[in-house]
């Protein structure tokens, strides 16, 4: 991997982390297009640069994260299922799932269908949670169970939590914002675990590549978050579902 490729990866990560299109899936497909082997460093890079995108949420939602204990209680409750799954299946996830193009394309395709079906059957009403604080701990935990499915590349952490939130009684904006905030402990933990497992065994150039990816994803993610919040006010998630299906089919036809 060179610095141009690291920059491209950071842009892909920043754009896709909070949209329901799977950032990990897009990074895997970007690796295919750029012909970058899935080495241990590249796999770590794909995980660690997500921290840059997550820090964009910390910057944008600093007041909520610093002052709202009720929101944190729900975030941590929702984080538990993913923590258990991630710790238990870490080696399987990194050795078999991450970098597996077939799994990624299948998850992108099926996730796209799920998003479209969601919009066709979902009906929002006044009883749905207006704010994250209005979600019960049970609802929060079940949203976390949905998020745990995103250990499969191509599923999309954002899509899993948003779909779970909508079906479990959150209004559209609430589900999206909960997805944003739930990413904070989830991705901090994923990054920390990967650093510990790798024993920080990176070269000087690899650390510079990580820094490039980190800063790029941070800047791009800020714009992506603002875009999605504005988008969901007047649009459904169907365009994202259609995009996922088309992308999966194109990659399957021309690269697989």
Count other Cβ atoms within 10 Å, centred on residue 120.
Answer: 10
pLDDT of residue 199: 63
Query: Helix or strand or coil: residue 170?
Result: strand
Mean of the pLDDT values across residues 240-250? Answer: 92
Convert the pLDDT of each residue in 54-107 to its tens digit: 899 999 999 999 999 999 999 999 999 998 998 888 778 877 887 788 888 899
pLDDT of residue 164: 92
Residue count (the chain): 256
Q: What percent of the chain has pLDDT over 90?
A: 45
pLDDT of residue 134: 94
Mean of the pLDDT values across residues 236-246? Answer: 93
Q: Is the CB of residue 55 less than 8 Å from the CB of residue 115?
A: no
pLDDT of residue 81: 94
Cα-based distances in Å from 109 to 56, 94, 148, 166, 228:
28, 21, 18, 20, 21
Convert the pLDDT of each residue in 168-211 to its tens digit: 989 989 999 999 999 899 888 877 776 677 666 678 888 899 88
pLDDT of residue 196: 73
pTM of the model: 0.84
Average pLDDT value for the chain:
87
Q: How far is CA 148 from the centre of its chain?
A: 11
Q: What percent of the chain has pLDDT over 70?
A: 96
Q: Is the CB of residue 141 less than 8 Å from the CB of residue 80?
A: yes
Q: Which residue has 């996922």 as its token pair?
A: 244
Convert the pLDDT of each residue in 25-37 to its tens digit: 788 788 888 888 8
Terminal C-alpha separation, the chain: 22
**In what helix (H) or strand (E) does residue 86 lie, and over which residues does it extend?**
helix 69-88
Count other Cβ atoms within 10 Å, centred on residue 192.
Answer: 12
Q: Which of 7-11, 162-166, 204-208 has the lowest mean pLDDT?
A: 204-208
In this structure, what is the dihedral angle of CA atoms 190, 191, 193, 196, given to the nearest 10 degrees? Answer: 170
Say whether pLDDT at 250 is over 90: no
Enter the DSSP assignment of 96.
Answer: I
């Amino acid at each position: 991997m060179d610095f141009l490729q690291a920059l491209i990866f950071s842009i892909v990560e920043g754009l896709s982390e909070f949209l329901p299109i799977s950032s990990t899936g897009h990074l895997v497909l970007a690796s295919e297009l750029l012909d970058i082997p899935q080495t241990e460093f590249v796999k770590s890079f794909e995980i660690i640069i997500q921290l840059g995108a997550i820090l964009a949420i910390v910057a944008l939602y600093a007041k909520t994260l610093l002052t709202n204990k009720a929101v944190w209680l729900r975030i941590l409750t929702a984080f538990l299922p993913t923590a258990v799954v991630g710790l238990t299946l870490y080696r399987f996830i990194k050795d078999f799932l991450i970098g597996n193009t077939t799994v990624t394309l299948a998850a992108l395709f099926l996730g796209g269908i799920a998003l479209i079906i969601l919009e066709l059957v979902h009906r929002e009403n006044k009883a749905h949670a207006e704010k994250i604080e209005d979600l019960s701990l049970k609802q929060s935990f079940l949203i976390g169970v949905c998020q745990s499915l995103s250990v499969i590349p191509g599923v999309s952490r954002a899509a899993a939590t948003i779909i779970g939130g909508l079906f479990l009684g959150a209004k559209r904006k609430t589900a999206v914002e909960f997805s944003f905030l739930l990413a904070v402990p989830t991705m901090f933990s994923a990054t920390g675990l990967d650093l510990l497992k790798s024993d920080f065994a990176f070269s000087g150039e690899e650390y510079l590549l990580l820094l490039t990816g980190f800063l790029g994803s941070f800047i791009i993610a800020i714009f992506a978050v603002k875009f999605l919040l504005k988008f969901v006010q007047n649009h459904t998630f169907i365009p994202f579902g259609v995009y996922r299906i088309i992308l999966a089919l194109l990659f399957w036809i021309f690269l697989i």
